[in-house]
């Protein structure tokens, strides 16, 4: 254990951890902004813009609201960033080495809740009524997409014969079946909601809550939030690639899969207006829920009768 | 020491010393507080020490504790009070004594103003002794007697909570008492079928109607004690009125240990569960309890009542895990029982501390206490994250094992319960998300949000109260990060599972925790860069220019889930629940009232009518006796 510490440090710090993930994440966030701009007939930012934004935020004053719970207010972005860092290191290692690392698919799904939870705690600690409304919405959004995500997990597990090991799951193309496709599409929407992208940016809702959960964050703390969000833009699609699309068997194919998911996310983001929270809950619980119950039944039947494409 | 003296020592200290001391304390006048406190602390501490010793002796195999305390011969029926160390019982005993010590420490301050201190500590000692008796007893009938001692002391303990607690105490006593009657009946049937009351000699197949009835009767006793649906309603009622320390000791910790102990006993020892129906019943109770109880918990406005519903909901995971019948599932269920006892006990203690200092447990009136009660906040947050199954805390590990148990059952077993595994899995996973939601509401309303003007003078509770919370919170972290330690030392030996064979998922918690710590250091460095560049400034919270006073800016968490509770379909269910339609106690009460009304109507006071009844009855008896047809 002791002699492996330098290696672990390298993994988490440089590759495939912090430096690598942040780099890809910021480039991906540039892609999001650029494509959104093109869709809206604007020119859009230059490639270095997300990097400059982070640097600029680091140099800005950090404001702390009076009456807030300061320790948690400062800790929340750190927890979020750490959780995404752990998740992305774990997923990258599984994608590149095709061996088990740290956790299985259930662990991955639970680690994906952590950034949202940190956001909820941070905003709840910031003593602002806007943030409190945002807290409530973010939590309800988590509740909304956890149900279809649990069902999607069931589909993946059925399709892999009870296997939980992500490296093993990544060997299969779950998406090449009716149930797998349904589960993939719904999981994609869940990722959309986890990223806080339109139409699920209900908790931030700049136009009504003035930033909601993030309203009181500024300066270095906001910079860390932005880093965490950029890293999520890497980790969450990567999870979809591993769980549904057959992982990184060939490097360029893996990159193509990641870009495909990114493009889908951007398209959904740019073609939909924001939902209300009750609409979002109904959407995930009723429509996505029913679609996935159908998927689970199909997957079960397919498994029982040995029909792969069901 | 010789084996005999060891046997005598263990029997005396673990079972009879607390029982006798507790019984004496019940009658000591209230003015003599010194003796009460000394006894109340010394006895559980001695029990704890001896139980640890017994555990080590049993685990290393150097001594097999087995002692026949007394034998009674009634006709042909031989009753002997045989106490013996079973791996499952011994490790639970260690924890139940440990909880006894922690709660006693906490109660010194929290119950200081109570007028019935001696009664309280007496009942507490009776609970410790009674549960030791249950966990060690080899004879089913004596197990029931110890079981009754714990029930009776629960009644006493709840009733120390002030005026309104009498109702709660009565309700608890009625419900658990009724389930104890079922227990007795079940024991009688088991005795008829197997001809013995010694636990280790009973192994009944569940193929006849009679043995299935016996199984169900014993199961009712187990799940009522543990507080699973549909016989759960005594927990929230007592949660509202009983002292928090009582809730932390019994419904949160010891009752869970005892209920799940009995359940494991009947599923793995007394019966061979080969009936698909029984398995389905257990699984539905498990999955249903998880979901329904947590849905109710989400909309509660009272801190302690909310915690009580979670105490119910968590039982579902244990029952579900045990019902799967797979090694990983059962181990997960029992591990979850242990974890739940730890974090739920901690949560109730935190709730009690808040109630004691803020003088209210209504979520609407609390807020912003994190700065005022930092230790309570941190321990409560750790326990809340544990119960919500957030890695790397202990609740996550046991839930993760239960999930694996369900998947294992679905893949490797046949039958209707196994085929329907996606339902159980989704209920468990989604239930965990709902738990998180409920605790976000709690943490927001009590500790975060904003401090109401009324609570400006609140201070942290004394060290005697924070120490137990800190111990429990430490255990939450320790059992989460080094989860193979409790599994290897406590759970697997108790269930006779070989280490390393059960779990088939991957969770390298130590490495993950190390990486989390490292990531936090990294984040701190980034933060430091920003903080060196520019200073931190404190400003009022931004309200878009509107001028609001402090109390207007507080948004309590109780409004968080209105969206859920006003959804179509759920709304009606919530309304029905609020009116007590699903409360077995209230419904049974209504049936009872109807019955008495009918009897009262019969009791008209008209003599000729009574005479008619008598004659008709006499005739019927005559007909039967004389075999006229």
Q: What ipTM goes with this model?
A: 0.93
In a domain? residue A139: yes
Residues B355-381 pLDDT 10s: 888 888 888 888 888 888 999 999 999
Q: In Å, how far from its chain's centre is CA B134?
A: 16
A146/B433 Cβ within 8 A: yes
Decide: A89 and B542 in contact? Cβ < 8 Å. no
Residues B268-316 pLDDT 10s: 888 888 778 888 988 999 999 999 889 888 888 888 889 999 989 999 9
* Cα angle value B337/B341/B345 (rounded, 5°): 165
> How far B573 CA lies from chain A's nearest CA (Å)?
17
Q: Which two tokens stand for residue A282?
A: 């109904």
Find which of A109, A160, A219 to mutate to test the B interface (most B CBs within 10 Å of its CB): A219
Mean pLDDT of B347-359: 90
Ordered DSSP codes for B520-543: HHHHHHHHHHHHHHS-EEEEPPP-
In a domain? residue A77: yes
Q: How far is CA A38 from CA A25, A34, A35, A42, A269, in A?
A: 20, 6, 5, 5, 13
Q: Measured between alpha carbons, how far is B350 from B344 in angstroms, rounded to an integer?
A: 10
pLDDT at A1: 65
In a domain? residue A253: yes
Residues B176-212 pLDDT 10s: 888 889 999 999 898 888 888 888 888 888 788 888 8
Q: Is the pLDDT of residue B382 over 90?
A: yes
User: Can you give the three-state secondary structure of B205-223, one letter per residue?
Assistant: ECCCHHHHHHHHHHHHHHH
Computed on alpha carbons and rounded to an integer, the radius of gyration of chain A in Å comes to 19
Decide: B479 and B342 in contact? Cβ < 8 Å. yes
Q: Is the pLDDT of residue B528 over 80?
A: yes
Exposure class string for A199-223: b at 16+ Cβ within 10 A, else e = bbbbbbbeeebbbbbbbbbbbbbbb
Residues B474-491 pLDDT 10s: 999 999 999 988 888 888
Number of neighbouring beta carbons within 10 Å of residue B150: 23
- DSSP classification of residue A176: S
Nearest to B151 by CA among B115, B170, B177: B177
**From start to end of B379-503, where are the E strands?**
none
Interface of A with B in 19-78 (CB under 8 A): 57-72, 74, 77-78
Residue of B nearest to A63 (CA): B537
pLDDT at A130: 87
Residue of B nearest to A54 (CA): B530
Nearest to A307 by CA among A196, A179, A194: A179
> How far B414 CA lies from chain A's nearest CA (Å)?
12
User: Can you give the three-state secondary structure of B424-460, one letter per residue?
Assistant: HHHHHHHHHHHHHHHHHHHHHHHCCCCCCHHHCCCCC
Residue of A nearest to B370 (CA): A69
Q: Residue B611: CB partners within 8 Å, gap ≥ 6?
A: none
Nearest to B390 by CA among A232, A102, A109: A109
Reduce the DSSP state of residue A103 to 3 states and report it. strand
Q: Is the pLDDT of residue B75 over 80?
A: no
From chain B, the residues in CB contact with A125 under 8 A are 370, 448
Residues B575-623 pLDDT 10s: 877 777 777 788 888 888 888 888 888 777 788 888 888 899 999 888 8
Mean pLDDT of A75-83: 92
Q: In Å, how far from its chain's centre is CA A226?
A: 13
**What's the domain count of chain A?**
1
Number of neighbouring beta carbons within 10 Å of residue A94: 28
Of A60, A164, A224, the CB nearest to B527: A224
Domain with A269, as residue range(s), is 2-305
Residues A173-216 pLDDT 10s: 888 888 999 999 999 999 999 998 888 888 777 777 777 788 88
Q: Give residue for tokens 């979520």.
A: B363
β pairing state of B66-74 and B77-84:
antiparallel
Q: Measured between alpha carbons, how far is A271 from A267 in angstroms, rounded to an integer?
A: 6
From chain A, the residues in CB contact with B535 under 8 A are 61-62
User: Which of A5-14, B22-31, B306-315 has the highest mean predicted lDDT (pLDDT)?
Assistant: B306-315
β pairing state of B271-272 and B204-205:
parallel
Surface-to-core class of residue B497, CB atoms within 10 Å of its CB (0-12 exposed, 13-18 middle, 19+ buried): middle
Find which of A162, A225, A304, A305 to mutate to test the B interface (most B CBs within 10 Å of its CB): A162
From chain B, the residues in CB contact with A70 under 8 A are 371
pLDDT at B346: 93
Q: Residue B91: which pLDDT band, with cuts at 50, 70 and 90?
A: confident
Q: Measured between alpha carbons, how far is B511 from B509 in angstroms, rounded to an integer?
A: 6
**From start to end of B219-308, where are the E strands?**
271-272
From chain A, the residues in CB contact with B378 under 8 A are none
The secondary structure element, H or E, covering residue B557 is none
A83/B540 Cβ within 8 A: no
Mean pLDDT of B391-413: 91
In a domain? residue A310: no
Average pLDDT, chain B: 86
From chain A, the residues in CB contact with B557 under 8 A are 136
Q: Residue B628: which pLDDT band, with cuts at 50, 70 and 90?
A: low
Q: Which two tokens stand for residue B518?
A: 């490292």
From chain A, the residues in CB contact with B563 under 8 A are 140, 277-278, 281
Q: Residue B529: which pLDDT band, with cuts at 50, 70 and 90?
A: confident
The mean-pLDDT minimum among A24-33, B137-146, B381-390 falls in B137-146
Q: Residue B495: which pLDDT band, with cuts at 50, 70 and 90?
A: confident
Decide: B239 and B247 in contact? Cβ < 8 Å. yes
Phi/psi of residue B202, nearest 5 degrees:
-100, 130
Interface of A with B in 73-102 (CB under 8 A): 74, 77-79, 81-83, 85-86, 89, 100-102
Surface-to-core class of residue B411, CB atoms within 10 Å of its CB (0-12 exposed, 13-18 middle, 19+ buried): middle
Q: Which two tokens stand for residue A120?
A: 């909820």
Largest CA-CA distance found in chain A, in angstroms, rounded: 63
A64/B537 Cβ within 8 A: yes
Instruction: Please measure the distance between the N-terminal and C-terminal CA atoms of chain A and give it in whole angstroms.
Output: 45
From chain A, the residues in CB contact with B514 under 8 A are 8
Q: Residue B342: which pLDDT band, with cuts at 50, 70 and 90?
A: very high
Find which of A103, A190, A305 to mutate to test the B interface (most B CBs within 10 Å of its CB): A103
Q: How far is CA B387 from CA B390, B393, B394, in A?
A: 8, 9, 8
> How far A43 CA lies from chain B's nearest CA (Å)?
31
B396/A158 Cβ within 8 A: no
> How far B109 CA lies from chain A's nearest CA (Å)?
27
Find which of A8, A186, A212, A220 to mutate to test the B interface (most B CBs within 10 Å of its CB): A220
Q: In Å, how far from its chain's centre is CA B13?
A: 25
Exposure class string for B287-312: b at 16+ Cβ within 10 A, else e = bbbbbbbbbbbbbbebbbbbbbbbbb
From chain A, the residues in CB contact with B404 under 8 A are 106, 164
pLDDT at B1: 61
Decide: A216 and A63 in contact? Cβ < 8 Å. yes
> Residues of chain B with pLDDT > 90: what percent?
22
Q: Is the pLDDT of residue B93 over 70?
A: yes
> How far B558 CA lies from chain A's nearest CA (Å)?
10
**From start to end of B27-88, where are the E strands?**
66-74, 77-84
Interface of A with B in 234-273 (CB under 8 A): none
Q: Is the pLDDT of residue B518 over 70?
A: yes
Q: Is the pLDDT of residue B629 over 70?
A: no
* Cα angle value A128/A130/A136 (rounded, 5°): 105
* Cα angle value A15/A19/A22 (rounded, 5°): 120
Computed on alpha carbons and rounded to an integer, the radius of gyration of chain B in Å comes to 26
**From start to end of B60-153, where are the E strands?**
66-74, 77-84
Q: Measured between alpha carbons, how far is B419 from B188 in angstroms, rounded to an integer?
A: 35
A220/B529 Cβ within 8 A: yes
Find which of B449, B513, B543, B553 to mutate to test the A interface (most A CBs within 10 Å of its CB): B449
Q: Which residue has the higher pLDDT, A72 or B7?
A: A72
Exposure class string for B242-278: b at 16+ Cβ within 10 A, else e = bbbbbbbbbbbbbbbbbbbbbbbbbbbebbebebeeb
Q: Which residue has the higher pLDDT, B98 or B500?
A: B98
From chain B, the residues in CB contact with A282 under 8 A are 567
A161/B390 Cβ within 8 A: no
Mean pLDDT of A125-142: 88
């Amino acid at each position: 254990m002791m002699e492996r510490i330098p290696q672990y440090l390298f993994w988490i710090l440089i590759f495939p951890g912090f430096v690598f993930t942040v780099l890809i994440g910021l480039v991906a966030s540039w892609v999001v902004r650029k494509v959104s701009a093109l869709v809206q007939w604007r020119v859009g930012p230059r490639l270095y813009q997300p990097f400059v934004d982070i640097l600029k935020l680091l140099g800005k004053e950090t404001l702390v609201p009076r009456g807030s719970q300061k320790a948690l207010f400062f800790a929340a972005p750190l927890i979020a960033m750490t959780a995404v860092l752990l998740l992305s290191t774990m997923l990258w290692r599984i994608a590149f080495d095709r061996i088990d690392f740290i956790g299985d698919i259930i662990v991955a799904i639970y680690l994906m809740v952590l950034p949202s939870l940190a956001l909820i705690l941070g905003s709840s600690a910031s003593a602002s009524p806007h943030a409190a409304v945002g807290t409530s919405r973010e939590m309800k959004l988590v509740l909304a997409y956890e149900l279809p995500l649990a069902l999607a997990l069931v589909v993946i597990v059925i399709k892999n014969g009870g296997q939980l090991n992500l490296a093993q799951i990544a060997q299969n193309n779950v998406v090449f079946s009716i149930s797998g496709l349904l589960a993939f599409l719904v999981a994609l929407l869940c990722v959309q909601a986890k990223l806080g992208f339109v139409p699920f940016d209900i908790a931030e809702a700049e136009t009504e809550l003035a930033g909601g959960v993030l309203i009181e964050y500024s300066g270095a703390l906001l910079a860390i939030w932005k880093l965490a969000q950029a890293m999520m833009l890497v980790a969450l699609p990567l999870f979809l690639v591993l769980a549904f699309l057959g992982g990184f068997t060939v490097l360029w194919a893996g990159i193509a899969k990641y870009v495909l998911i990114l493009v889908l996310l951007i398209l959904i983001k740019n073609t939909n207006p924001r939902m209300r929270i009750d609409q979002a809950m109904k959407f995930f619980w009723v429509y996505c829920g029913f679609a996935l119950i159908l998927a689970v039944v199909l997957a079960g039947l397919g498994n029982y009768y040995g029909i792969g494409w069901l | 020491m010789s084996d005999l003296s060891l046997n005598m020592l263990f029997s005396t200290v673990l079972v009879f010393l607390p029982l006798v001391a507790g019984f004496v304390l019940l009658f000591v006048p209230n003015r003599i507080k010194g003796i009460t406190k000394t006894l109340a602390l010394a006895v559980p501490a001695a029990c704890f020490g001896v139980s640890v010793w017994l555990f080590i002796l049993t685990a290393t195999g150097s001594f097999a504790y087995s002692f026949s305390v007394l034998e009674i011969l009634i006709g042909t029926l031989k009753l002997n009070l045989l106490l013996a160390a079973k791996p499952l019982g011994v490790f639970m005993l260690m924890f139940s004594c440990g909880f006894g010590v922690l709660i006693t420490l906490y109660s010194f301050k929290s119950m200081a103003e109570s007028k019935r201190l001696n009664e309280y500590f007496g009942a507490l000692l009776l609970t410790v002794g009674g549960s030791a008796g249950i966990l060690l007893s080899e004879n089913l009938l004596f197990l029931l007697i110890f079981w009754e001692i714990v029930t009776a002391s629960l009644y006493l303990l709840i009733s120390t909570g002030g005026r309104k607690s009498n109702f709660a105490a009565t309700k608890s006593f009625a419900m658990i008492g009724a389930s104890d009657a079922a227990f007795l009946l079940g024991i009688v049937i088991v005795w008829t079928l197997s001809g013995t009351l010694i636990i280790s000699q009973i192994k009944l197949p569940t193929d006849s109607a009679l043995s299935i009835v016996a199984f169900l009767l014993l199961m009712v006793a187990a799940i009522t004690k543990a507080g699973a649906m549909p016989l759960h309603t005594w927990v929230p009622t007592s949660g509202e009125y009983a002292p928090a320390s009582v809730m932390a000791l019994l419904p949160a910790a010891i009752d869970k240990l005892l209920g799940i102990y009995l359940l494991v006993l009947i599923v793995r020892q007394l019966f061979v569960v080969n009936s698909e129906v029984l398995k389905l019943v257990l699984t539905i109770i498990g999955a249903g309890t998880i979901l329904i109880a947590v849905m109710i918990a989400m909309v509660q406005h009272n801190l302690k009542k909310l915690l009580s519903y979670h105490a119910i909901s968590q039982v579902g995971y244990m029952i579900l895990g045990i019902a799967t019948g797979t090694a990983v599932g059962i181990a997960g269920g029992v591990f979850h029982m242990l974890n739940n006892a730890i974090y739920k006990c901690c949560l109730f203690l935190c709730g009690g501390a808040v109630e004691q200092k803020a003088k209210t447990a209504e979520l609407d009136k609390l807020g912003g206490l994190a700065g005022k009660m930092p230790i309570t906040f941190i321990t409560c947050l750790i326990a809340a994250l544990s119960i919500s199954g957030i890695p790397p805390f202990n609740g996550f590990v046991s839930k993760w094992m239960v999930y694996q148990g369900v998947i294992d059952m679905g893949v490797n077993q046949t039958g209707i319960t196994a085929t329907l595994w996606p339902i159980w899995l989704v209920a468990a996973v989604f239930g965990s998300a709902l738990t998180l939601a409920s605790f976000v509401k709690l943490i927001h309303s009590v500790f975060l949000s904003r401090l109401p003007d009324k609570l400006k003078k609140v201070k942290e509770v004394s060290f005697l109260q924070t120490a137990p919370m800190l111990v429990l919170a430490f255990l939450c972290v320790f059992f989460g990060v080094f989860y193979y330690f409790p599994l290897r030392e406590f759970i697997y030996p108790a269930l006779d599972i070989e280490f390393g064979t059960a779990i088939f998922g991957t969770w390298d918690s130590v490495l993950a925790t190390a990486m989390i710590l490292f990531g936090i250091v990294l984040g701190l460095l980034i933060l430091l860069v920003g903080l060196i560049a520019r200073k931190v400034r404190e400003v009022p919270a931004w309200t878009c220019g509107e001028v609001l006073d402090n109390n207007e800016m507080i948004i309590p968490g109780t409004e968080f889930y209105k969206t859920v509770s006003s959804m179509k379909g759920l709304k009606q269910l919530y309304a029905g629940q609020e009116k007590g339609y699903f409360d077995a106690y209230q419904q049974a009460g209504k049936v009872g009232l109807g019955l008495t009304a009918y009897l009262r109507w019969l009791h008209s006071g008209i003599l000729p009518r009574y005479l008619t009844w008598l004659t008709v009855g006499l005739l019927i008896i005559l007909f039967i006796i004389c075999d006229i047809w």
